[in-house]
Amino acid sequence: MAWTFTTLKSAIQDYTENTETSFVSNLTNIIVQAENRIIKAVELPNFRKNQTGTFTSGNAYLATPTDYLYPYSLAVIDGDSNYNYLMNKDVNFIRESYPASATTGVPKYYAQFDDDTFLVGPTPDSGYTVEIHYFYIPESITASSAGTSWLGTNATEALLYASLCEAYMFMKGEVDILSNYEKRFKDALQFLTLESDGYNRKDAYRSGQRRLDVS
């Protein structure tokens, strides 16, 4: 049975036997934290997509998409539509390789500078078209206009037990009950991981991914 936001909230209250006002008012945050647990623990191919944009000449920084979680690849697309993939390094490597930001050219490397920004090297010398292939943060079941979400439909046990784990931590509940829910969550997560691994083994490097223009 797929979860909706309403049925999931009811299930959490039933399992915890808690209808106290402050607990109920925090259920949205509890469920969002549970969703984050799942999407950060397993690389689900359903949450990968492409987005295109442009570098700014003379600017070594590139903003990440608003729903960005972590990268899969970053590429400069030349005038013949060829993809030139950048190597993923750390910030120190790029700064040591290009200590002068005035050193410009076609970027060869990129690094995660902070949650919202990439650093590239060398500094772009033109407004190159760039495409990022990345794992994204899916719409939360708490905000879905459809009433449910991919996790609510396809990862029902993982979402339930992750929510119960977060709920019991919020409640400072019994350790043995929390441990039981943690075990059930890990079992559900293992199933998701095996399902994801099976998909990735048959997945082409970039097959079936949509390209979305940066607005």
Parse the chain into domains and list their residue ranges. 5-44+138-202, 47-136+208-213
The pLDDT of residue 118 is above 70: yes
The pLDDT of residue 16 is above 80: yes
Q: Give whole-number Cα distances, 188 to 41, 42, 156, in Å.
A: 12, 11, 9
Is the pTM above the cut of 0.85? Answer: no
CA distance 23 to 39: 24
Number of other residues whose CB lies within 10 A of the CB of residue 105: 12
CA distance 16 to 33: 17
Mean pLDDT (the chain) is 89
Task: Determine what percent of the chain is predicted with pLDDT higher than 90.
Answer: 76
User: Which spans in the chain are helix H?
Assistant: 5-16, 21-25, 27-41, 91-97, 150-154, 156-171, 175-202
Segment 143-153 shows an average pLDDT of: 85
The pLDDT of residue 203 is above 90: no
Number of other residues whose CB lies within 10 A of the CB of residue 212: 13
**Structure confidence by residue, pLDDT tens digits, 161-174:** 999 999 999 999 99
Segment 27-33 shows an average pLDDT of: 97
Q: How confident is residue 182, by pLDDT bands cut at 50, 70 and 90?
A: very high
- The pLDDT value recorded for residue 1 is 79
The answer to whether the Cα torsion of 201, 204, 207, 209 is positive or negative is positive
Segment 149-167 shows an average pLDDT of: 95
The pLDDT of residue 210 is above 80: no
For residue 35, give the nearest of 173, 183, 166 by alpha carbon.
166
Q: Find the range with the poorest average confidence among 32-41, 124-133, 143-152.
A: 143-152
